[in-house]
A and B are shown apart, each in its own frame.
Chain A
Amino acid sequence: MKRIILTLLIIAVMAGVSRGKVDLVTLPSRDTVQLTIYNSADMTLVREGRALTLKDGKNKLQFSWVNTLIDPTSLEMLPKADADKIDIADLTYPPRVRNLGLWNIESGVSGEVPVEITYLTSGLSWRAFYVGTLTEDEKTMRLQGYVRVTNNSGEDYENAQTRLIVGRVHILDEIAELARRQYPYGRPGEIAPLSGVSVRGLDRRVKMEMEEKIAWAGAPKEIRKEGLSEYFLYTIEGTETIPTGWSKRLLSFDVDKVPVVNLYKYEEERYGNSVVRFLGFKNDEEHNLGDTPIPGGMLKVYRDADNQGHLSYTGQSSFKYIPVDEDVELNLGSVANVVVEPKLVNFETENYRFNHRGNISGWDEICTFKVEVKNTREIPVKIEIQRNFNTPYWKLEKGGNFDKYEKVDLDTVKFTLSLEPRSKKEFEYTLTTYHGVRQEDWKKASR
């Protein structure tokens, strides 16, 4: 494992002394460290607190970061005391030396000065994942959210306050790519940054190595959640030590009795001839949720198989970011225990129109469909059936046993049905589509 040390040397340059004569003053260690880790990009904002011993006059401060994935263009240092007396004149990236920056500081004070050093680094990541456990009757679900933080940055962060950002930031360059550049800002006229190893490739490899290790499950800690701009900030209670190469799994929330809707959908154009199962709920108070948005991740759904705590695996779904108050429908894949069978039971054409040459210039097509819907499960289900007509010139007459019908867009309608356990329903609709000059008649009639 790489052991990386960030060195911070203070070199006091006395007035009149040439540049070659330098005086090493101190090598301060990190007092505090805060990690703000993003999951929409391979990026972490690191904030270190250190105490520097400055001398009155010019000071040079050397900061090096060999074998880390720090973006050198993001380095910034700010004094946290006597800010008006300390002028950070410039940051120099010396020639022919990699991973090293030299701050020129003009100090009007002598002694210990707390400073904050911030930079962006690559290699730390986090992701959310969820475990849902449905009750036997599938009316409610226990939903547990986890976050898993992984450190592949090359640097051990000890006792770091760890914060996670939920949201999608816009970045121009990969931090890992910036970290690998020979020159921090490139060279004049240079277009593509230098990159030895593909960032994604490296991440995947390291990730695979990580997957082989057992995630370290710490004692449950509270995660404070708050909104900032378009993001949510999760702050993990206390501090964490995550050595490089290691992951930590933390419980984000654990909510029982989330009411769920067992929703099934049928739409030939999207799902073929199968019925697809969805699990529906809402991120709101009524569902014992709604404090904060829920970050995207994978949800694995299980079901209580009996009263002895055995489980049966139901399926999984990728979880998108769910804002507070939004309905969510999680696709758990196709099923065979709920069946939808539309059948064309009648077809006719009529209202032919002919042009002055005697050719057909317009006609109507009348299709009658019978749709049979079966719920073979032992629980009640809701079923949505969408039908697309591929033309905006249509008229629909319906009949039979369904709860709701709505026009979704110009050529799509949706029928909604609720079915009791082990039950069957049937309905019919007659679709008239208008072709050729009959479309003009349709328009006149509909206006």
Chain B
Amino acid sequence: MNGKRDKILAILLLLVCSAISQARIKLVALPERAATVIRLDNPRATLIEEERVLTLQEGVNKVDFSWKGVSIDADSIRLRPIGHPDPPPQLSAKAEAGGAGKVTLLSVSYPPGEAALVWDISSDSDYAETVRISYLLSNIDRLITYKAIADKPETYVDLKSFLVLRNFSGEDFDRARVLLDYGEAFEQGIDHEETKRMLFLKADKVPITKVWTFDAAKLPWDPEKLPAPASPDASRGGGENRNVGIPVSYRIVNNANSKLGEFALWGGKARLFQDDGHDSTIFLGEDVTGLVPVGEKMELYIGDSRDIVVTQRKMTDAQINIRRNNKDKIILYDTDEVITARIENFKDSPAILTVIQHIPGQPAATVRQHGEWDMEKCNMKYKKKDANTLEFEIELPARTEEGPAVKELKMHYHRRNVRP
């Protein structure tokens, strides 16, 4: 324990004679922290484990644990004797037969109006007993950040991950063993209000897949019909000259083929760079990733491509097979819909564009939305992602001297049994 500041954890060992009932005032020893572990395996809470040597006397000992200027969850405080632990019930008979010593935690008391507790510890002899005290400490945690440098052709990244320790707990840790949910523990000291960043994962040449995605539900269909940007010059010109960016992502699989896959990759902010071929890099973009379990994909959105242009239009939208009630009101109909999407690749390299199309459903008795539809004709293959969502993977060749590579997706479908 660091006694430099007033924000301290104090542990007092009070010798209690059986005749003294209110013995919290009698100081016997102020044991130093022997070994400290900062356990960061749970992102929601940090567990501190510290070992201290208590000088116990035969009989009942009172140990006072108090804290000031730090935020400890009092219910989380646990004490465990290490040298002469009270064996579990099923083993106690055997232990007694073997004549093993015994240090037993009898009770825990919380004094009124104080950030403190008192342990009653029974000892069958005089011991210098090592105990492990653990508790959940607030305002100390860890973050994970990633830095990835892609090669020029964008086939792999050199991936680094950094652990950022942030200690705003009020407590200085001169030297502690820091444990994550995987990997070796390491020694680190960290003071109150200090932040430390250290490299903890390095994987070179991790394969990546570059992904362009046009989601018809998220992006404007017709770039020409974008509203004019607010500009003082709008009245004198300006206007519809706006690009629609197609989101670009890098996909990394957390598996052995990627030289990863040993453990789940924690969520955190990732910054991506690219080797520019001139012994330097450019910054490509940044994204935040969630936890990526082994075998799963991490997808990092880096920015938007303006060299792939999608112009989607509805060419037909009509009601057919109309059914009416005897008041001549339409009660059910099908639709006849044609959607075309012209896709232009102005890049001088090929690309695979994922196009996501949605055929809207309507509320049904059993499900929130049903997708009762059939495709009359579609000129490209698609995967049905769910009842209402279609996914196309469209290979776009590079631009040639003649101009951009152009493909046209045409879907002719009918929504069935639509109720007005």
Contact = CB atoms under 8 A, between A and B. Distances in A.
A227 B347 CA distance: 9
Interface string A311-322: 000011111110
Contact of B238 (A88, A187, A331): A331
Interface string A384-414: 0000000011000000000000011110000
Given A315-B237, A317-B239, A188 B166 contact: yes
A231 B285 CA distance: 11
B152 A188 contact: no
B111 interface: no
Nearest to B304: A168
A233 interface: yes
Contact of A317 (B237, B304, B319): B237
A436 to B, nearest CB: 10
Nearest to A444: B320
Given A188-B139, A230-B305, A408-B313, A330 B328 contact: no
Most buried by A among B147, B284, B306: B306
Interface string B286-323: 11100000000000011111110100011111111010
B112 interface: no
B193 A95 contact: yes
A47 interface: yes
A90 B237 contact: no
A228 B276 contact: yes
Contacts of B61: none
Contacts, number: 212
Contacts of A34: 280
B303 A168 contact: yes
Given A95-B193, A230-B248, A315-B237, A188 B168 contact: yes
B90 interface: no
B412 to A, nearest CB: 12
Most buried by B among A36, A95, A118, A189: A95
B211 to A, nearest CB: 12
B233 A325 contact: no
A281 to B, nearest CB: 13
Interface stretch (B7-15, B114-122, B195-203): B195-203
A192 B163 CA distance: 21
Most buried by B among A47, A163, A170, A359: A170
Given A95-B193, A171-B286, A188-B168, A407 B237 contact: no
A159 interface: no
Contacts of A170: 285-287, 301-304
A392 B107 CA distance: 81
Interface string A284-323: 1000000001001010000000000000000111111101
A167 B274 CA distance: 14
Contacts of B347: 323
Contact of A318 (B154, B194, B233, B309): B233
A233 B276 contact: yes
Contacts of A120: 283
B281 interface: yes
Contacts of A325: 346, 399, 403-404
Nearest to A231: B282
Contacts of A144: none
B358 interface: no
A442 B168 CA distance: 73
Contacts of B278: 235
Nearest to A72: B195
Contact of B194 (A92, A167, A168, A439): A92
B193 A183 contact: yes
B304 to A, nearest CB: 5
B399 A229 contact: no
Contact of B191 (A95, A296, A356): A95
A45 B281 contact: yes
Given A43-B283, A89-B198, A95-B191, A440 B322 contact: yes
Contact of B317 (A73, A361, A392): A392
A124 to B, nearest CB: 13
B328 A356 contact: yes
B348 interface: yes
Given A230-B303, A323-B309, A330-B237, A318 B274 contact: no
A407 B239 CA distance: 23
A14 interface: no
B236 interface: yes
Interface in B57-73: none
Contacts of B284: 169, 229-231
Given A93-B194, A228-B274, A316-B233, A439 B318 contact: yes
Given A169-B303, A323-B309, A331-B240, A228 B152 contact: yes
Contacts of A333: 235-237
B303 A443 contact: no
A298 to B, nearest CB: 7
B315 A316 contact: no
Given A95-B192, A169-B285, A90 B241 contact: no
B269 interface: yes
B410 interface: no
A324 B286 contact: no
Contacts of A392: 316-318
Contact of A230 (B271, B280, B304): B304
Nearest to A182: B193
B236 A316 contact: yes
A185 B239 CA distance: 40
B417 interface: no
A167 B233 CA distance: 23
A227 B243 CA distance: 18
A318 B229 contact: yes
Given A95-B193, A188-B168, A318-B229, A233 B198 contact: no
A231 B197 CA distance: 30
B187 to A, nearest CB: 11
B237 A316 contact: yes
Given A47-B280, A96-B193, A321-B306, A227 B150 contact: no
Contact of B315 (A187, A284, A407): A407
Interface string A356-375: 11010100000000000000
Nearest to B228: A331
A382 to B, nearest CB: 16
B242 interface: yes
Nearest to A92: B196
A331 B239 contact: yes
A88 B403 CA distance: 50
A437 B319 CA distance: 10
B304 A188 contact: no
Interface string B218-253: 000010000001010101111111110100100000
A171 B164 CA distance: 20
- The 8 A-B pairs at the shortest CB distance, nearest first, are namely A323-B346, A95-B193, A320-B241, A331-B239, A90-B198, A333-B237, A170-B285, A409-B313
10 contacts: A93-B195, A165-B283, A168-B303, A170-B303, A188-B140, A189-B138, A316-B237, A320-B243, A333-B236, A333-B237
Given A90-B196, A231-B282, 7 more contacts: A40-B303, A47-B281, A169-B284, A170-B301, A185-B197, A188-B139, A326-B404
